[in-house]
Chains A and B, each alone.
Chain A
Amino acid sequence: MDVLSTLASGFAVALTPMNLGLVLAGCFFGTLMGALPGIGPINGIAILLPLAYSMGLEPASAIILLAGVYYGAEYGGRISSILLNVPGDAGAIMTTLDGHPMAKRGEGGRALALSAVSSFAGSMGALILLVIFTPLLTRLAVTFGPAEFVALMVFALCCLASMVGSRPVKTVIGALIGLAMATVGVDSGTGVLRFTFGLTSLFDGIDFLVVVIGMFAISEILLLVEHHYGGGGRLEKVSKSFVKAADLVQVRWTVLRSTLVGFVIGVLPGTGASVASAVAYGTEKRMAGENNEFGNGDVRGLAAPEAANNSAAVGSMVPMLTLGIPGSGTTAILLGALLLFDVTPGPLLFSQKPDIAWGLIASMFVGNIALLVMNLPLVGIFVRMLSVRQAYLVPVIVMLTFVGIYSIHGASFDLFFMILLGVFGFLLRKLGFSLAPVILGLVLGEVLEDNLRRALSISAGDWGILFNNGVTLTLWTLSAMVLVLPLVMKRRRALRQKQAAAEA
């Protein structure tokens, strides 16, 4: 009952004309960003974040807008996956497998409508789970002290290392680079300047916005040059076909299972929509047995990743809001956005700033309904947007990034630094590094150091404080398991393959 009344107060925040307009704008802009190949939710938020900051929006309004972009982009990612066979973002990769074959055989409309309904169901199911589990997790997190938070952050970083990207070592290096960036500036404990090279612009540390825009948006422009000269995909026509009741009946359990899978994976720190959609797809394919058309346009193969990636997007909000630990690269940016607005996510957020926490959750209900309404009749507009030439798009992106960064401090230094970070981000992406760990390291760096120093101050320098109770020991054990288990399983798989080859 208590949850319902606080949720009702959240709706009062979300349904003010200003916030409602921002939800709709965020969802529309997000769908567009998600639909455009290569841009995706992270870049969408990265481009809008400095604008939202400079426009002086209230923290609740700004986060409602940015979250709208996030789940809007998760919706939009499927459009180019289905019609172009090019995923709008990493979370939509699995959607190409069955969505594009459907579009090729003239069922583009059916695929788009079914994926929209699956996305809606995934998001709504995950939102209900979020409303149920968030207060429980918050109650647990309130008991956390600095030592528990250190162990939790190490767990988040370990999850990241074992689950993001193909090479764990590259993920760790990315996180270390982010953590190192977080040490730049005046040390809050002693007032000492660290790694500022005498540049006054770095005294306050490396600006989060400059890093996000540089690494994501600027490096994306460099990648777009490659795509442009490498040739793009062919746009499939959207047929008049539409989702049938029989389709919905056929995918009902698939959507339910994938929503649960997506939510659980989304809640785990470090994982995200891409992992969730891959796991949900694999699960459904296995469960379908022999009787399936997976890979050739099976409706279950389309519904599963769509429900899962939208569910994961919502699930990744849970650790961000309750623990202050981002569940994915995109929520790391949202976490940074909250910190920019002087809002500290964590267990106290729900008691100290309920308007922001519950306003955001309520706005997600509103946004998802808006997205479904938007995506069914307006899909033609988004499809037409796919055929906008990059020659028109790129100058707009460049302009938005420059205005966004310049309007924060009014300093050219930030623009040059953003370009430098953009080139560095591009280099990392070309070398197969994921940028999400860098952002996660940057966001968690200061909090991790603060908590570690606070914990060691309490214990007068005794490192044993980090291992002295059940919660910390459990988290350290889980961290070790998360790191070791994939290696053991990989070795066992290799051994089994070797044995099978020898027997053959």
Chain B
Amino acid sequence: MADRCFSLALMVLAVALGGAAWQLDVPFQYEPVGPKAIPLILAVLLLGTALWLAIRPDRLKEAYGRSLFVRHVVVVLCLLVYAWSFELLGFVLSTWLVGTLFARLFGLDWGRALVYSAALGGVGHLVMSGLLELNVPVGTVFGG
């Protein structure tokens, strides 16, 4: 069932890819193959293989429970919060915040999670920004 749903999505994607490629027009070109040829070939192949997958799907043995889905949603939300807060709060604060959430999710108690993530943010900043001279945001709320 999962394979069939996915192959349906792939077929929609293939049609969209082919449709968009068909509309790629250039006023003039110096070569016989334009920008649309390869995407069109790929769209046709993708449509064909997705159709094949829909006809002969795999029987997936793994069960995917609701509790696992909730945990995955939490992980994705944490990652989105990190991405959103990375520039806004800066590296140290956002790492502290999201590091704590991840440490909690993987079984650390609140106290240890807070201390560990604070250390990770601080040491990480020293290493990444100071030692390796990488572009690490200070945070727009701090004028960075």
Contact = CB atoms under 8 A, between A and B. Distances in A.
B32 A54 contact: no
B2 interface: yes
B15 interface: no
Given A55-B133, A398-B82, A399-B120, A187 B35 contact: yes
Given A176-B42, A391-B107, A399 B95 contact: yes
A177 B17 CA distance: 11
Interface string B92-130: 000100110011111110000100110010001000100
B141 interface: no
Given A225-B71, A403-B128, A406-B86, A167 B136 contact: no
B80 interface: yes
Given A390-B106, A406-B86, A452-B33, A221 B50 contact: no
B106 A55 contact: no
B35 A190 contact: yes
Contacts of B87: 412
Which 7 pairs of residues, A with B, have the shortest CB-CB distance? A461-B32, A415-B83, A391-B106, A395-B99, A187-B35, A391-B108, A407-B135
A51 B136 CA distance: 12
Interface in B35-66: 35, 38-39, 42, 45-46, 49-50, 52-53, 56, 58, 60, 62, 64
A449 B38 contact: yes
A320 to B, nearest CB: 23
Contacts of A419: 76, 79-80, 83
Contact of B29 (A167, A189, A218): A189
B79 A422 contact: yes
Tell me whether chain B's interface is mostly helix, strand or loop, or mixed: helix
A11 interface: no
24 contacts: A51-B132, A54-B134, A169-B56, A172-B49, A189-B35, A190-B29, A194-B24, A195-B17, A224-B106, A389-B106, A391-B102, A391-B103, A395-B99, A395-B120, A396-B120, A399-B95, A399-B120, A403-B128, A412-B84, A415-B86, A453-B31, A456-B33, A457-B30, A457-B33
A228 B107 contact: yes
A431 interface: yes
Interface string A401-420: 01100110010100110110
Nearest to A408: B135
Contact of A398 (B10, B50, B102): B102
A406 B135 contact: yes
Considering residues B34, B35, B71, B84, which has the most beta carbons from chain A within 10 angstroms of its beta carbon?
B35
B75 interface: yes
A92 B125 CA distance: 35
Considering residues A221, A226, A391, which has the most beta carbons from chain B within 10 angstroms of its beta carbon?
A391
B6 interface: yes
A180 B72 contact: no
Given A226-B68, A461-B33, A403 B136 contact: yes
B75 to A, nearest CB: 6
Contact of B60 (A187, A403, A432): A432
A382 to B, nearest CB: 21
B19 to A, nearest CB: 11
B12 interface: no
Contact of A457 (B32, B99, B117): B32
Nearest to B2: A431
B106 A173 contact: no
B80 to A, nearest CB: 6
Given A180-B17, A398-B102, A169 B52 contact: yes
Nearest to A403: B128
A222 B76 CA distance: 8
Given A195-B20, A449-B38, A456 B132 contact: no
A391 B100 CA distance: 9
Interface in A254-275: none
Contacts of A190: 26, 29, 34-35
A500 interface: no
Interface residues of B, number: 66
Given A170-B53, A173-B10, A195-B20, A398 B58 contact: no
Contact of A431 (B3, B83, B103): B3
B139 interface: no
B131 to A, nearest CB: 10
A169 B99 contact: no
Nearest to A448: B38
Considering residues A228, A229, A422, A457, which has the most beta carbons from chain B within 10 angstroms of its beta carbon?
A229
Contacts of A177: 46
Nearest to B109: A391
Nearest to A455: B33
Contacts of A416: 80, 83
A386 interface: no
Given A225-B106, A416-B80, 6 more contacts: A169-B53, A169-B56, A180-B46, A192-B26, A398-B79, A403-B134
Considering residues B49, B52, B62, B64, which has the most beta carbons from chain A within 10 angstroms of its beta carbon?
B49
Contacts of A183: 38-39, 42
B86 A222 contact: no
B32 A173 contact: no
A492 B94 CA distance: 59
A231 to B, nearest CB: 12
A400 to B, nearest CB: 9
Contacts of B82: 398, 402, 415
A8 B105 CA distance: 51
A392 B116 contact: yes
Contacts of A170: 53, 58
Contacts of B137: 406, 410
A182 to B, nearest CB: 9
A394 B102 contact: yes
Contact of A407 (B29, B33, B56, B134): B134
Contact of A173 (B17, B46, B132): B46
